[in-house]
Structures are given as C-alpha cells and as structure tokens.
Amino acid sequence: MTGAQAVIASLQAAGVEYVFGYPGGQAVKLFDALFESDITFILSRHEQAAVHEADGYARVTGKPGVVLVTSGPGATNTVTGIATAYMDSVPLVVITAQVPTTVIGTDSFQEADIFGVTLPVVKHSYLLREARELPETFAEAFHVASTGRPGPVLIDVPSDVAGQELEFTWPETVNIPSYKPTVKGNAKQVRKAAALIGEARKPLVIAGGGVVSANASEALAALVDTMQIPVVCTLMGKTALPSAHPLNLGHVGMHGSKYANEAIAQCDLLICVGTHLSDRVTGRIAHFAERARVIHIDIDPAEIGKVLPADVPIVGDVAGVLADIVEALSAQKAQPQSKDWLAELAEWKERWPFYSTAVEEGRTGIIPEDVVMELSRQLAGTRSIVTTEVGQHQMWAAQFMERETPRSFITSGGLGTMGFGFPAALGASLANPDDQVVCIAGDGSLQMNIQEMATALEAGANVKVLLMNNSALGMVHQWQTLFNNKRFMATEFSANPDFVALAAAYGWQAARVEDPSSVAAAIETMLAAEGCYLLDVVIPRDANVYPMVPPGGATADAVGAIDLAVGAVRLGLERHEVRQVGEVNEEGEGGL
Amino acid sequence: MRHVMSVLVQNKPGVLSRVTGLVSRRGFNIDSLSVAPTEDPTKSRITAVVEAEDVAYEQITKQLNKLVCVHKITDLTEDEAIERELVLFRVAVEPERRSEVIEIANVFRAKIVDVGHKSLTIEATGTQSKLAGLEELLKPYNLAEITRTGVTAITRSAK
Ligand SMILES: Cc1ncc(C[n+]2csc(CCOP(=O)(O)OP(=O)(O)O)c2C)c(N)n1
C-alpha cells in the first residue's frame, strides 16, 4: 500500500473513530486514502478549531484526539490548539502534511517547518523520511501521546512519503528504550506519606487535572473518605470529586472561595495530587501552605518540587499511588483525626459563602452567577458535559457549576485559550452523543471560533451555547476596573453582531434573554431543543468575578469575599479599587 | 555553579535542537556543547556545560529526562569524572620567536599541526584550566584565532 494508505490503516489499527481537520495541496493523497475508510472525518472551518475539537474529544474519552491538516498555513494554524493541549496534558496525534522531502528546506510553496515551530509545545514529534518508518512511528505516537503524562504528538508527513509503497504491518507492541514513565509509586515513600496522613490533624488534598486524566477519582474518594480529608480542586481538577461530595470544598486559587484558600493557608498537611501548582492556584508562593508539610504525587517527576518543596515526593500513576496509600494506612490502622478541622471548615463555609442573594440585592439586570447556578440546577442528575471559553464566564462556571462525574467539565486551564470552549464542545458531543453538551461562552471568546457553527451543523452534533454576553472582554475589563482606574482600553465592543441572527444564518436555533425572570425558562427551552441552539444571555458589563486574589498577591490578599460576620458585604473592595497600574506585576507574576 | 551535563540521546534528526531548545527555553545558557555518536550508533552523547544553581539544575535535568529522545543524564561535574577539551590556537608569531612558542607548546604536550609563512597552529587537549593556562602564555605571541570543541567528559573507571 502507499504511505497515505498506511497512515489511515495506522489510525484504524489505533482504533480511531474521528479525525478532525482541513485539506490542502500536500494532503490530497492522505485525504484520498480516507475516502475508503470507515473513520468519520469532521471538516472544521479553521485548523485551530479542528485541534480544539480533537482536544474536546480526547478530554471526555481519555483517548487521543486525531487531527489531519495540510502543510504550511494549515500546519501553522494548529499551533495554538497544540499548545492548549500541551499545557493541559491532553493526548493528541496531529498529522501535518509536508512538502516533498526533495524540496524541504528550499522555501517551496506552503512549506513551513512545523516540526521546528511546535518543538516547545509537543510531548514529542516526528518528521517522516521514508514510508517504511510509518507504522512504527504511528504506533509510537499513539503510545507516547496517551501514556505517562499525556500530551500532543505531531507527525509531519512529506507528500512524497505519502506516495511511496510499503509493506504495512502494525507493530503489536511499542518499545522505546528512552521512554519508560514510572507508574508504580516507591513503596517507602508511600509508607512515609501514609505516616504523615495518619498523624495529620488538618490534612487537605489539592486535586488537579492529573486526577481526572488518570481516572483516579475513585481512588481519591477512597482515600479522603477513609481518612476524612477535605479536598480543594484546581480548575483542571474540578471533576476530580463530585461537587456534592461532603468533603469537596471546590474551587481554589485566584477566584477560589475564601474558605478553600484559607484551608490551604491553615492546613498542616497538604497532599498535592496531579497538579503542577500553577501561579493561578498558589498566588504568591512564599505564602502558600506555609504551615503545611507537603506530599506531592504526580506521574511527572519534573512537577514535584518545581514550585513547592515536597517533604514526600511520589512519582507514579496517581490512581495506583492513592490506592497504595490507602492500603498502607489500613496496615498502620490509621484513624481520621480531622473532626475539629472539618468543623472549623464548616464554620468558614457558613461565614464566607461564595454567594449570597443578600449581597446581590440592588444589582440590576441578569446576574451572571444566577445564570450559571440555574444551568447547574437544570443539568443536575442528567448526563451532561459543560465546556467553557476563557474569561469571567469561565470563572463563574468554575465557581458555580456543580458536576457529578469526571471529565464532565472541559476548559482551557493552562494556556487559557479563548476560542477553545466551543469547538471543544463539538468534539465532546461527537464523543458522547447522548450527553447534553453545553458551552458556557463569552462574546469575545465565541467570536474567536464562531465559524464552527457550520461544522457543528454539518457534523450533526448537538451542542448548546450559553452565551454570557456582556459586550466586553469582561475579564480584562475587570482588571482595568480594579487595577487601572477604569481606563477601559480595548475591552468594550461597540459593534457585536446580533448573535441570534448570526446563529440563525448558520442554521442554528437561537434566542435572546434580557429579563432576569425569563432566564430559567430560556435555559429550559435551550436544553429541550433538538440539535444546536444558542442562548444569548445579556448581562451587565460591569459585573466582576469575586473573590479575586490580585495577580502576584498571596491568597490571603483576596478581595471581594463575602463575610456574613461583618454583614452582607464583599471585603476589601474599597481598598483595592484605587490600586494603580504597575503595582500589580512587581514580581512579574500575573497577566491574563 | 558550573555543571558538566552528559546527555545520552537517540541518534536521530532533531534531537539536538530538542535538547538545547529546552535548556534555553527554561532560561539557561549553554556555555559549551559537544555532540557525537557513541559506541552504539543508535545513540549520541551530548556534553553540555551549563551554569545553574543546584535546584534549577535539577529542574533542567528533570525536564530533559522527560524528552522521549533522552535515555539518560549524568552529572559529570564531580571529581569522579575526566573532563577534556580540544583547542586549536593560531599564533601569528614572527619567525624569529617561533621557537619560544614551540617550547611552550611542548611543555603543555600540545602539537604543532600546521605551519605557514605568517602563523603556526597548535593543537592542545586538556582540562579547561590547563588550556586557559596555555592561552595565557600564548597571548603575547599574537593569538590570531582560537577554536574549541567544547568540553567532553567521561566517568573515571572504578578503582
Ligand atoms: C486567545 C486569547 N487572547 C487573549 C486572551 C486574554 N484574555 C483573557 S480573558 C479575556 C476576555 C474574554 O472575554 P469574553 O470571552 O467575552 O469573556 P468574559 O470575560 O467577558 O466572560 C481576554 C481578552 C486570552 N485568554 N486568549
């Protein structure tokens, strides 16, 4: 068979159902080979979106998402998508066509050194030189993408290689001597961890995306249930434990609750599981978990000790390590000692609620938090996946969307890519066609990949877009409100499209809601609709996400938390609104 | 602190830029670099000298270890390693003083590998400090050009 046919045969051998992408000159042989296969090809309207679609598919299934694009501009358009997947450790196999090997390096038409361009944002990459390398390369690519700490792998396929003949045999096993991720946690370290946990009075787990990607939720629940350890979740770890789990304190970090951040400040043992402790989580690191000893569990040794020294580092698959710790605890006959700690946390939760209708009194228009909570209520108990774009709406979703199952909350955490959430919803919906898939979007982000409305319709996907429309780049607007004396530079849209008409032009159903009392019914109509539906929810431009840890500040510096002990007010806002530009980034931390 | 980092890698295209790109991306400068295949033709060895605090150095090696193409990293900074570099000096010395230069070269067990009308070329190997000493002594004789291979290193045999 030809190289092109071998590419498709490899995808089939790897069990690929969907390929997302866009054709072009150097890719015609590859696309021709797709013609006969039973793989479904999803034709996006932009290569960046194709990668996000594959990424959404990968995040909900745990299987590598696959992308196929042409050389040059097709390949360079994938870069943001690949970087997004890299930062969030999502398995992808991205196949880029390349100019023939005979002209590589000559600036030939539509030649781009995509191998070189993507080096910093791939887990691994290949430039094929001969067709006979092809089966092994593809088998390796799928193996590397999905094992260890998952990530995107790129394969650049010159068009002459796609034309060469080869004998195709799919390798039964993959053996890369230089790539052997450590899976099993060190037994001695596991016992040490168990000893620390057994002693702790104020233990706390911080769960990151690694818990979700390692399918370790049950193992985590087993540990925290037996030892009665409360849990805070990073943005990527949001579905590590069901939101309603009694030990789950929810969202932590820059827009986390005061009680979750305070729990980190006060705990005597912090168990970091599958998290790289982003600056968005820690705030000023010198003040992070100051009183705590630290256990850090991760499949990636480089994450341990990177920002926070660990007393007990454990490298390994987090599900296995957590199970080993539970076993060691039972061998030690450890008993939970967190009763007082849990009581204290419960008090904090009462005192510093994330939200209180009393505080919102007097606000006009639709309150964004209410919209998210309403959606959350209506999705409760159903099989659903929520994706988000990036900005304020994303943070409200992180704060108020209740989720029950792992992989049911999809968001760009590490790179914070506007334009990710909508195509990701499309990929998620194709993977799980029976789930209700809702993208919570901002009007800025949605317009970064809005053309995918056509893709969604063509693919027969069933995607809902809940547009939190503030006619602004709300999150940046918020920073300007708080730190730049309301000098709104380049954050207010004066010529947004009529999103309902636009959606209709794409063949979508759509409606707009401006009246707070109509929100619930409007969401109900959206969720009940067959097929794609956009709900344009008009919200005020000046709504801010609170609490907020100022960039570069310690979590204790957060402003805008509600303190019912003081009255129904948000703390620290007066003080904060006078801060000037420049004070914020003293340490070079922060940034949007 | 100066570290001599020996990185055993797959002998494949792109591997060198992957390794050096990662080091510079993480904010470190590579002072010297040497690369060549090993006794096993599927593997190459990269020897790099980097300046980094211990914690930062550990982070670079952890990041490098993650690369699929990296087999193994050894820190050869310690005394248990033998470190060598090869340097070529072109000395534009006037003919009457050539013998002085040749004498210096002999003391350092360096070789004269090329002689022209206006200059001669010396090949010297050794540790960086020995070579620096030689360079110092050659300076007064009009050192026209210096080229170095970068450090390579190997662990000492077990005694
Ligand atoms: C591709 C990209 N460009 C710029 C940014 C910086 N940024 C972060 S949030 C934000 C505003 C997002 O606006 P919108 O999507 O309308 O959401 P809102 O904050 O209003 O809810 C911007 C510009 C980004 N995260 N991604």
A479-538 per-position pLDDT tens digit: 999 999 999 999 999 999 999 999 999 999 999 999 999 999 999 999 999 999 999 999
Share above pLDDT 90 across residues of chain A, in percent, rounded to a whole number:
92
Region A274-278: what's the mean pLDDT?
A: 97
Which atom of ligand 1 is closest in space to residue A368's alpha carbon?
A: 21
Region B25-43: what's the mean pLDDT?
A: 94
Q: State residue A583's pLDDT score.
A: 43
Q: Is the pLDDT of residue A580 over 50?
A: no
The two tokens of residue B15 are: 């591997």
| Distances from the Cα of A214 to the Cα of A91, A219, A385, A489, angstroms | 12, 10, 18, 42
Q: Which of A119, A179, A301 sits opposite B68 (nearest CB)?
A: A179
How many Å apart are CA A129 and CA A98, to the nearest integer?
11
pLDDT band at A575 (very low <50, low <70, confident <90, very high): low
A124 vs B: CB within 8 A: yes
How many Å apart are CA A74 and CA A320, to the nearest integer?
40
Could you tell me which of A436, A470, A438 has the C-alpha nearest to residue A542?
Answer: A470
Continuous H helices in B9-157: 15-25, 54-66, 98-107, 128-138
How many Å apart are CA B114 and CA B110, to the nearest integer?
12
pLDDT band at A584 (very low <50, low <70, confident <90, very high): very low
Q: State residue A590's pLDDT score.
A: 53
How many Å apart are CA A123 and CA A289, to the nearest integer?
31
* Strand positions, DSSP E, A58-177: 65-69, 92-98, 124-127, 152-158
Region B153-157: what's the mean pLDDT?
A: 92
Report whether A268 contacts A201 (CB < 8 A). yes
Cα Rg of chain B (Å, integer): 18
Region A340-365: what's the mean pLDDT?
A: 91
B-chain CB neighbours of A116 within 8 Å are: 17
How many Å apart are CA A39 and CA A37, to the nearest integer?
5
Which atom of ligand 1 is closest in space to residue A417's alpha carbon?
A: 26
How many Å apart are CA A517 and CA A396, to the nearest integer?
20
Residue B47's SS3 state is strand
Q: Is the pLDDT of residue A591 over 70?
A: no
The bridge status of strand A533-538 relative to strand A18-22 is: unpaired
Beta carbon of A472 within 6 Å of any ligand 1 atom? yes
Domain ranges for chain B, please list them: 2-75, 82-155
Q: Is the pLDDT of residue A587 over 80?
A: no
Residues 164-183 (A) with a CB less than 8 A from some CB of B: 176-179
For the four alpha carbons of B35, B36, B42 and B47, in that order, the dihedral sign comes to negative
How many Å apart are CA A559 and CA A582, to the nearest integer?
18
How many Å apart are CA A259 and CA A2, to the nearest integer?
60
Q: Provide CATH code, domain B82-155.
A: 3.30.70.1150
Q: Which of B14, B55, B68 sits opposite A176 (nearest CB)?
A: B68
Could you tell me which of A103, A212, A208, A78 has the C-alpha nearest to residue A153?
Answer: A78
Beta carbon of A413 within 6 Å of any ligand 1 atom? no
The two tokens of residue A44 are: 């996006």
pLDDT tens digits for range A158-167: 999 999 999 9
> Cβ-count burial of A529 within 10 angstroms (0-12 exposed, 13-18 middle, 19+ buried)?
middle
Sheet holding A40-43, edge to edge: A40-43, A18-22, A65-69, A92-98, A152-158, A124-127
Region A43-58: what's the mean pLDDT?
A: 98
pLDDT band at A357 (very low <50, low <70, confident <90, very high): confident
CA distance A217 to chain B (A): 25
ipTM reported for the complex, 2 dp? 0.91
Q: Is the pLDDT of residue A363 over 90?
A: no
Q: State residue A579's pLDDT score.
A: 46
The CATH architecture to which B2-75 belongs is 2-Layer Sandwich (3.30)
CA distance A152 to chain B (A): 12
How many Å apart are CA A189 and CA A198, to the nearest integer?
14
Region A49-68: what's the mean pLDDT?
A: 98
A469 vs B: CB within 8 A: no
Q: State residue A572's pLDDT score.
A: 84
For chain A, the average pLDDT equals: 95
pLDDT tens digits for range B98-154: 999 999 999 999 999 999 999 999 999 999 999 999 999 999 999 999 999 999 999
pLDDT tens digits for range A207-249: 999 999 999 999 999 999 999 999 999 999 999 999 999 999 9
Which atom of ligand 1 is closest in space to residue A448's alpha carbon?
A: 1
* Amino acid of residue A27: A
Could you tell me which of A429, A551, A554, A405 has the C-alpha nearest to residue A482?
Answer: A551
Report whether A409 contacts A426 (CB < 8 A). no
More confident residue, A564 or A583: A564
Kindly report the pTM of this predicted structure. 0.96
Report whether A75 contacts A22 (CB < 8 A). no
A125 vs B: CB within 8 A: yes
- Packing angle between helix A392-400 and helix A474-483, nearest 10 degrees? 100
pLDDT band at A592 (very low <50, low <70, confident <90, very high): low
Give the H/E segment covering residue A380.
Answer: none
Share above pLDDT 70 across residues of chain A, in percent, rounded to a whole number:
97
Region A298-323: what's the mean pLDDT?
A: 97
Region A429-450: what's the mean pLDDT?
A: 98
Beta carbon of A392 within 6 Å of any ligand 1 atom? yes
